[in-house]
A = this chain, B = another copy of it.
Amino acid sequence: MMSMISNEGQDIKCDALTLRAIRDAMETLSGNWKLQILLALSSGPKRFRQIAKEIDGISDKMLSKELKALETNLLVTRFVYDTFPPTVEYKKTNYTETLFEVMLALRNWGLLHRQTIGKK
């Protein structure tokens, strides 16, 4: 017997592959910073120090690490300009747009959930 989650005629098969896919997605967005970084870049390309200033509480180490992770996931591109002092610019990619449905679903459920739970 195959377990399912169903809604209005659509099903999600609850198999290992699905579970893995969901976890892949969650992992590439997990942590306190990745979304904030993508948000910071949503208004245009920015430099390292500029991003660091916009995100409250992030350390250089974390910003560096998270940017690298986002880059290997093709969600951020890194441009190095050969100037002195060095200039490095980060920008979001077209691929970032594919996250739209995910963000929307998460946002909608998050809003619903806060209402449901009744957090202030």
Contact = CB atoms under 8 A, between A and B. Distances in A.
Contacts of A107: 12, 18, 21-22, 25
Contacts of A100: 5-7, 10, 12
A10 B114 contact: no
Copies in the complex: 2
A31 to B, nearest CB: 9
Contact of A113 (B1, B28, B105): B28
Given A1-B43, A3-B43, A98-B112, A30 B30 contact: yes
Interface residues of A, number: 51
Nearest to A21: B110
A26 B29 contact: yes
